[in-house]
Amino acid sequence: MTTAVPAFWSPRIAALEPYVPGEQPRIANLVKLNTNENPYPPSPLAVDAIQQAAADGLERYPDPTSLALREAVARRHSLTVEQVFAGNGSDEVLAHAFFAFFQQAEPLLMPDVSYSFYKVYAQLYGIACEVQPVDAGLRVDIEAIAVRARNGCAGIVIANPNAPTGIGLPLSQIERLLAACPDRVVLVDEAYVDFGGESALPLIDKYPNLLVVQTLSKSRSLAGLRVGFACGQQHLIDALVRVKDSFNSYPLDRLATAGAVAALEDEAWFNTTRDKIVDTREGLHLQLEDLGFEVLPSQTNFVLARHPQRDAAELAALLRERAVLVRHFKQPRIAQYLRISIGTREQCSALVQALQAILGAQ
């Protein structure tokens, strides 16, 4: 069997720097706080729905329009089904959106500290990017982006709350961007909005250039199922459908659709698990500060923290030796920070105990 060699690759693929996902190791008694997964299982109703779907109908293709899921999203957010697009995880939805809207003659605008997949999509599709630095507190500089947008751009993409900082923006600032960029799409990635952020979904009818992307991976505990969706006015959704049907007409299988619909309908389970994560996040924030960490305010299911006297990469390595995984990024502005996913109370206590041992040994 031969392996691919650069001589056979297209120039764009040879130059591509792919996204690096969080580590998924198999370590005994692992405390896994590195990939922002929900520490609680999905709704029992979702599990039941998946099992029922597995028992009947897998010999047939799924609904190419994912109508049942789109109807469930529309019901929950007071939208029409024509305003909802569904895809295989929010990453696929984002990729389709980049292809559909941002291949323009001008650069795409985004913060310099944000979800690193955005730059990968842009490189893959040959989209020029222009990054705007976040401020000294690692907050997105909305005014600077708005001023730049008025001079022409391919669009704007931001995560709100931002990743990996966890800091959220109020709707007034999202509207600032929408008004500054009326002729191009403003994409708001709300992967973490359910943990305390303010969703832009209520603005959809008002702004024809707004596209909001969400996922069921985080707050619905369905990271293993891969379900995401986008919401916007119908002309934006129609463009995403054109891309989907030129790539994969059946992105969501029967199991994913059944589980996602049931998870969206189980509001009680969602509220209970979400509230546990938020409460644990606030407690962990205080515990980390007691250990000397500087912790950014978070509206997500993770915190970003640094210790003024300890190197972040070293801390991550020492934690790994104790079977505790956190995420360390090598990006210059956040290289001294650790992104710590919010686990159960017991998992976060294990993290704190490991940090106490490491810091006490210095």
Question: 24-61, pLDDT tens digit by residue?
Answer: 777 778 999 999 999 999 999 999 999 999 999 899 99
pLDDT of residue 250: 96
Residue 80 predicted with pLDDT over 60: yes
What is the number of alpha carbons within 13 Å of residue 244 lying toward its C-beta? 24
Residue 3 predicted with pLDDT over 60: no
Give me the mean pLDDT over the 240-245 stretch: 98
pLDDT of residue 15: 85
- Give, to the nearest 10 degrees, the angle between helix 44-55 and helix 254-265: 150
Query: Confidence class of residue 16 from pLDDT cuts 50, 70 and 90?
Result: confident
pLDDT of residue 249: 94
Among candidate residues 162, 185, 35, the one with its CA nearest the CA of residue 104:
185
pLDDT of residue 1: 43
pLDDT of residue 362: 57
Distance between CA atoms of residues 142 and 176, nearest Å = 8
User: Would you tell me how many other CB atoms lie within 10 Å of the CB of residue 27?
Assistant: 12
Q: For residue 87, give the H/E element and its range.
A: strand 84-87
Q: What average pLDDT does the chain have?
A: 95
Portion of the chain with pLDDT greater than 70, in percent: 98
pLDDT of residue 10: 86
Distance between CA atoms of residues 82 and 67, nearest Å = 10
Give me the mean pLDDT over the 292-310 stretch: 97
pLDDT of residue 4: 55
Sign of CA pseudo-dihedral 146, 148, 151, 155: negative
Residue 2 predicted with pLDDT over 80: no
Residue 20 predicted with pLDDT over 90: no
Residue with tokens 């720097």: 17
